């Protein structure tokens, strides 16, 4: 049709591995992969992993074009360090009363359901680690703190985000440029 995915630097790299495409955010690869797998399974998995918004199933779905809240993105990324289990993200992790007694502790809630196999979660974590070590997320690489994650931008570069995790925390950072 009249739409063609483009890479950040508007170049075409030819045949690349899935790891290389993921590490360097080569957009043509996930779009081609979505043609082979179908887009509905991608949307279904996004919902299973914690994305609550409904979104249209379009050609650009594999690039993450759906409108997603920061807390939903964080919740979905938590599936990987949780070895495939979905865990509800919490803006508040612990509440105590005036006597210091814990009345709510999100860290003590059991994991929900398994949405990925442990093996798949491990492979995704390895790919996301590579993004931080050798790819678009290198600025998240802090010596002595192994991290894994993924970067993303909108077509106009108005929005930029990084979703990732260390051994203890899962977080998403979203920035919007008001210049556009």
**How many residues can be counted in the chain?**
180
Tokens standing for residue 53: 């918004």
Residue 164 has a pLDDT of 96
Rounded to whole angstroms, the Cα distance separating 79 from 113 reads: 10
Angle between helices 40-49 and 70-77 (to 10 degrees): 90
Return per-residue pLDDT of the chain as tens, 180 residues. 676 776 666 667 678 999 999 999 998 899 999 999 999 999 999 999 999 988 889 988 888 877 888 999 999 999 999 999 998 777 788 899 999 999 988 877 766 789 999 999 999 999 999 999 999 999 999 999 999 999 998 777 788 899 999 988 899 999 988 765
Predicted local confidence at residue 9, as pLDDT: 63
pLDDT score at 10:
65
Cα within 13 Å of Cα(47), Cβ side: 11
Instruction: Please state, in angstroms and rounded to a whole number, the distance separating the CA atoms of residues 25 and 157.
Output: 14
Residues in contact with 42: Cβ distance below 8 Å, sequence separation at least 6, in sequence order: 34, 61, 62
| Residue matched to tokens 């919902």 | 47
Among 130, 133, 134, 140, residue whose Cα is nearest residue 160: 140
Does residue 42 come out as left (phi exceeding 0), alpha (psi in the -120 to 50 range) or beta? alpha
The reported pLDDT for the residue numbered 93 is 81
d(C-alpha 74, C-alpha 163), whole Å: 7
Q: Which helix (H) or strand (E) holds 150?
A: strand 148-153
């Amino acid at each position: 049709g009249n739409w063609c995915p483009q890479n950040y630097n508007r170049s075409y790299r030819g045949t690349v591995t899935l790891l290389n495409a993921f590490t360097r955010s080569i957009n043509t690869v996930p779009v081609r992969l979505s043609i082979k797998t179908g887009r509905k399974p991608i949307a279904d998995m996004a919902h299973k992993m914690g994305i609550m918004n409904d979104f249209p199933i379009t050609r650009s779905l594999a690039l993450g074009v759906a409108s997603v809240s920061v807390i939903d993105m964080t919740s979905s990324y938590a599936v990987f360090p949780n070895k495939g289990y979905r865990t509800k993200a919490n803006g508040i992790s612990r509440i105590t009363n005036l006597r210091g007694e814990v009345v709510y502790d999100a860290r003590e809630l059991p994991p929900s359901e398994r949405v990925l196999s442990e093996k798949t979660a491990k492979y995704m974590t390895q790919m996301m680690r590579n993004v931080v070590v050798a790819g678009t997320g290198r600025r998240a690489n802090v010596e002595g703190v192994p991290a894994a994650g993924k970067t993303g931008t909108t077509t106009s570069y108005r929005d930029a985000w990084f979703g990732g995790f260390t051994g203890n925390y899962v977080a998403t950072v979203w920035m919007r440029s008001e210049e556009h």
